[in-house]
Structure 1
Amino acid sequence: MAEEFLRIDKLVKTFGGNQVVKGVDLSFNKGEFVSLLGPSGCGKTTILRMIAGFERPDSGRILVEGKDISGLAPNQRKIGMVFQAYALFPNMNVADNIGFGLKIAGMPKPQREARIEEMLQLIGLSGYGKRYPFELSGGQQQRVALARALAPSPRMLLLDEPLSALDAKIRVSLREQIRQIQRELGITTVFVTHDQEEALSISDRIVVLNTGNVEQFGQPFEIYNRPQTRFVATFVGTLNTLNATVADAGAKTVTLGGTTVTIPALPASARNGEAVALTMRPEAVSLANGATRDIVLDGKVAEVSFLGSVIRLKVDLGDNAVNLDTFNDQRTPPPAHGAPVRIGIASSDVLVLER
């Protein structure tokens, strides 16, 4: 059974009459990597700053290993934090930046130097100790910021959108390094991001936030494939929405594009003649020969987007349109713009969201 490490209990925070965190309850396990995911203004950074002690909650508690730390100053919490801006001291070299917290804590010089070298090896920058921040790339500077946060051996690591200033290729490489280091140290980590791919790729679990509320908390597979609210379904990944009409609620059938199809996920509250929104991910839609899926619809290619390993087609279905992803096959070019196509959808992949 997983051991609880961090508990956020009914946390509330208001700025200027605007409640940005609205009674949030969360529980994180020891050694877990959890991402707080959501759009700007959803409260994710405010929650992180309250965990760190840089903001005080209006009400609620923050407990670490069962002890309430809500009233402690940041330097009493034994928490390391990496900011969006690297915040390295420009007048200090890499070694002094990493060892700054150790020096303030009074660690003797020999032990401090050994710890700095250990951190340089951990982040893959051995031999860079005498360089200054301006001599490093953005990715290297962020690794130094990570080493500085980890040097005092904190019991928890907080990361506030640490990759947002980097280009795409470096972001992917550095997030993999961060995850590898986190696993190696076994440190409980809370990671703030608005990048869905980032959260899905490196998290043990994800908290999806919207306007100060938790919309869903679960593993990446659950968040993506089984969204519990319309917001989660539309915010995380790309979603197709097809308008349909309930034909027979008892039989769970709907009329879609002049065809009657069975939708297992049709809710019990549906009523005959009611308009419903059927949703599915682009990868759940395929070009079909009429026999591969139980929902088959005819349409016309409206757009072709080449995305490298994946080609995304937008297919006009008349009253609806749908995006589908297909792998790039060098031997088979995608259908041309305007070409007639037949698409297939498995009814088991269809979700029905509240309107």
Structure 2
Amino acid sequence: MIRASKICKSFGGRQILDNLDYSIERGEIHAWKGSNGCGKTTLARLLAGLETPDSGTITRSDPSLKVLIAQQDFVLWPTLSVRQNLNLVAPEKDWQPFVKQLSFSELLKQRSGHLSHGQKQLVCLARTLSLQPDLLILDEAISHLDKEKRHQFFNTLKNLREKHAVAFIWINHFDENSANLQSDSWVLEQNQLYPSHLVYPKNNPS
């Protein structure tokens, strides 16, 4: 579906990614782990087309492939209602199923500025899902959700995977989230992304 080959990226003279190879196919779920600042978000933005690599190539199996990122930040108009915020990006028929699955219909008339962090995160997640991505990258995207809402969200992702072969990349620091999604785990270190079962990368002399 999407493949990164020999990707290099640096900022301010600091090498973030170096000769990195990575690929993900339809219906796959990957979990990326790594220390803060190791390049997880940078790689996500490259795959989504929001950044360009210094060198290397990113290819998609279909030019119309839609790659979206759901982040921890809340990008909502505070003076508009939840319904109005959702309508800004998609028709009601596209977002209403996710509102029901995530159980927050009672919030539709409330102003977004009056919501809790967890409620705002639910709205942002439903809005992103309504855009019907082929690959959704979740960058610390459920950090404010309680256990019940996380469970509902996991079920929503599983349904999308089963019915539409949507692929997901999960970026987080919580092992239980990855386990719930039955994901393949990857670790970003030394400017490279490795399957987590490779404890010591091949180019690591130790």
TM-score range normalised by the length of the shorter chain: 0.7 to 0.9
For 2:113, give the aligned amino acid.
F
Q: Alpha carbons of 1:153 and 1:21: their partners in 2 closer, same or farther (altered >3 Å)?
A: same
Cα separation, partners in 2 of 1:81 and 1:228, compared to 1, 3 Å: closer
TM-score normalised per structure 1:
0.51
- In structure 1, list runs of 5 or more residues that go unmatched: 68-75, 103-111, 218-222, 232-353
Q: In structure 1, what is the Cα distance between the partners aligned to 2:177 and 2:96?
A: 29
Residues 82, 185 of structure 1: CA spacing in aligned structure 2 closer, same or farther, 3 A cutoff? same
Match of 1:182 in 2: 157
Does residue 228 (structure 1) correspond to residue 180 (structure 2)? The answer is: no
Aligned CA distance change for structure 1 residues 115 and 179 (closer, same or farther; 3 Å): same
Decide which of 51, 58, 62 is 2:54's aligned counterpart.
Answer: 58
In structure 2, distance between residues paired with 1:173 and 1:61: 40
Structure number with the higher strand fraction is 1
1:12 Cα deviation after fit: 1.3
What CA distance in whole angstroms lies between the structure 1 residues aligned with 2:141 and 2:131?
Answer: 19
Cα distance per residue 1:56-99 (max 9 Å; x no partner): 111122222255xxxxxxxx763332111122221221112222
1:31 — aligned with what?
A: 27
**Structure 1 residue aligned with 2:126:** 147
**What amino acid is aligned across from residue 91 of structure 1 in structure 2?**
T
The 5 A counterparts of 1:100-139 are 100-102=88-90, 112-139=91-118
Secondary structure in 2 aligned to 1:101? Answer: coil
Give the superposition deviation at 1:146: 0.7
- Inter-CA distance 174–61: structure 2 relative to 1 (3 Å threshold): farther
Mark the structure with the bigger radius of gyration: 1
Residue 18 of structure 1 corresponds to which residue in structure 2?
Answer: 14
Task: Provide the secondary structure at the position in 2 that maps to 1:127.
Answer: helix
Q: Measured at CA, do residues 195 and 64 of structure 1 come closer, stay the same or move farther in structure 2, by a change above 3 Å? A: same
Q: CA deviation at 1:137?
A: 2.7
More helix by share: 2
Which TM-score applies when normalising by structure 2? 0.84
Whole-angstrom CA distance in 1 between matches of 2:176 and 2:106:
33
Give the aligned CA root-mean-square deviation in angstroms: 2.4
Cα displacement (A) at 1:203: 4.1
Q: Distance in 2 between matches of 1:10 and 1:175?
A: 35
- Structure 2 counterpart of 1:79, one-letter code: V
Stretches of structure 2 that go unaligned for 5 or more consecutive residues are none
- State the distance in 2 between where 1:131 and 1:99 align: 14
Per chain length, whose mean CA-contact separation is higher, i.e. which structure has more relative contact order (CA < 8 Å, sep 6+)? 2
